[in-house]
Amino acid sequence: MFKLRTPTNLARVLQVVSLLALAPLVYAEPDLNGLWFPGGGPGQNPKELPFTPLGKKLSDAYIASFKIEDDPGGWCVSPGLPRSIWGAPFPVEVSQNKDFITMFWEGYFQYRKIYIEGRPRPDPILSTRMGYSVGHWEGDVLVVETTHLRESPYMRRLPNTENAKITERFTVENRKDAKGVTTRYLTDQMTLTDPTLYTQPVTVTSSLRWSPTTPIMEYSCSEEIYEKHLQQRGLQIPDFNQGQ
């Protein structure tokens, strides 16, 4: 009787193939560096916000008193997060390294830093419009948690208190249009949790398209302009603490 013998090198190849089949998939971290421009991809916003009784009361009072032209964005007040998921139609420049990712908006000259988990980072000192963001990679998805947000008491779009928390999932993908032209997109699925204003988390999705030839230009603002406007109109911004 003859015994079939598997050559040693073939046996090793089969062993490696078996191990690779059992190993988890490893994804390369996408390259986010460069210039991106909003408005080129699909987005998804909630039609109605799930306000708490306090949130609904403040929203109704705000809509009754504040006109569209009274919103702070038109008076040089930077929106910050979560309203600046991509912001006004201005380019965004992203810089990425192993320790952190920075984002710079032409609109309002807003600056954001995302610290990568496990790398050296400072402790948060105070609340800011962009908050304190820490991210980690889940395969090829960048997951970011943001706290220490400065309150945004402007009840159109997506207001928040200082107790708000944001979770984001950034993904990069190539899409072909009807003409077969491929374009890179950076999509952000953002979920806002703020029990003071909302009965459940609110999710917003928006995309940036790769736009390497769109330069960042100068944008100058001052919040004093808006403060003077409020005084002239006799308007008072909402007080989130009135229900406590």
DSSP state of 43: -
The three-state secondary structure class of 169 is strand
Please report the pLDDT score of residue 244 as a whole number: 59
**What's residue 230's pLDDT?**
86
Reading the block at residue 71, the tokens are 């919103």
Give residue 41's pLDDT. Answer: 55
pLDDT of residue 102: 97
Domains within the chain, CATH numbers bracketed: 34-243 (2.40.128.20)
Our CA dihedral for 68, 237, 72, 206, rounded to 10 degrees, sits at -80
pLDDT on residue 26: 53
| pTM score, whole prediction | 0.81
pLDDT value at residue 229 = 87
pLDDT at residue 85, as a whole number = 80
pLDDT per residue as tens digits for the range 167-212 = 999 999 998 888 888 999 999 999 999 999 999 999 999 899 999 9
**What's the confidence (pLDDT) of residue 243?**
59
Question: Which portions of the chain are predicted below pLDDT 70?
Answer: 1-27, 40-44, 86-88, 243-244
Beta bridge partners of 114: 101, 133
pLDDT at residue 12 in the model: 62
* pLDDT value, residue 14: 52
Instruction: Tell me the DSSP string of 112-151.
Output: EEEEETTS--PPP-S-BSS-EEEEEEETTEEEEEEE-BPP
- C-alpha span between 36 and 94 (Å, rounded): 8
Distance, in Å, from the CA atom of 166 to the CA atom of 82, rounded to the nearest integer, reads: 8
